[in-house]
Amino acid sequence: MKQIQDFNVLKNRRLNADHYILELQSKHPIEDVCPGQFVQIEIPDSKTTFLRRPLSVHFYDKSKNMLSLYVRIVGEGTKYLGMVNENDTLNLVYPLGNKFTLVNKKKVLLVGGGSGIAPLLLLASELQKSGNEVVILLGARTADGLLEINTFEKYGKVVTTTNDGSAGVKGLVIDHPVMKDQNKFDFVYTCGPDVMMKAVGEWAKNLNIQCEVSLENTMACGIGACLCCIQKTVRGNLCVCTDGPVFNFNDVVW
């Protein structure tokens, strides 16, 4: 069930100039969260923003009433949010949206670019738990943008690309050798810039591999009421917040 719940900030961990991770804990039991789901977070004390911000759940630990959010600073809201201190209170509406399809005992590839890695950590951990062979391909412009590699390594084999070759394979994610190995994967999950998801999706489609993408459209309500975050799909305009954020690649009209 969706909740409106206060969480305390356990840690606000700055990763680089424009990325941070918020570790949040509630005094009360928290709801189940599935990989791919997101929260709508209130931006405290902001003089310039008005709406909540939708953020993917990066990781969660139900036994400790904890969840974490991986955030890229893209505007005023995420900038203010990055200024919170330990023990500050943040108000969340969650869990929102659908979820990634969880397969068992398969070979799976997760492809993340930029802030698109946000929903992939929880996904990787769940996929590993259900006996999948997990390969995680993370791409960034430069080495400085490849974040949380060590954390991802707990849940699978991590490979990387950078546009300038400063770390991993030089080029785009689609250029990485794991993508050349045909028929290796049963399922592909991707989140990141549209152009990247589209390239990964086309690649998967050509090889007849199932592919799910997680989309990030601007939202107001997050619960399917306002119809602002729509995505064109083969089934008409759908809400990213309730029909998504996870879509089958083939359903999306790009």
Using CB under 8 A as the binding rule, whether residue 13 contacts other proteins is answered as no
Question: Which residue is associated with the tokens 């943040």?
Answer: 90
* Residue from 23, 42, 148, 212 in contact with other proteins (CB under 8 A): 42
| Minimum distance, C-beta of residue 92 to other proteins, in the bound complex (Å) | 12
Phi and psi torsions of 125, nearest 5°: -65, -40
Which of left, alpha, beta for 131 (phi over 0: left; psi -120 to 50: alpha)?
Answer: left
C-beta closer to other proteins: residue 227 or 234: 227
What the block records as the tokens of 169 is: 């394979």
Burial of 63 from C-beta contacts in 10 A (0-12 / 13-18 / 19+):
exposed
Query: How big is the chain, counted in residues?
Result: 254
Spatial separation of the C-alpha atoms in residues 108 and 81, rounded to whole Å: 33
* Residue from 1, 63, 104, 177 in contact with other proteins (CB under 8 A): 1
C-beta closer to other proteins: residue 46 or 128: 46
Q: Are 52 and 81 within 8 A, CB to CB? A: no
Beta bridge partners of 107: 133
| Minimum distance, C-beta of residue 145 to other proteins, in the bound complex (Å) | 20
Question: Considering only 55-63, 98-106, 153-161, 219-227, which stretch makes contact with other proteins by CB under 8 A?
Answer: 219-227
Using CB under 8 A as the binding rule, whether residue 2 contacts other proteins is answered as yes
| Minimum distance, C-beta of residue 235 to other proteins, in the bound complex (Å) | 11
C-beta closer to other proteins: residue 146 or 219: 219
Which of left, alpha, beta for 118 (phi over 0: left; psi -120 to 50: alpha)?
Answer: alpha
Using CB under 8 A as the binding rule, whether residue 73 contacts other proteins is answered as no
Question: Considering only 17-25, 58-66, 158-166, 231-239, which stretch makes contact with other proteins by CB under 8 A?
Answer: 231-239
- Positions touching other proteins (CB under 8 A) are 1-4, 42, 48-52, 93, 217-232, 236-237, 242
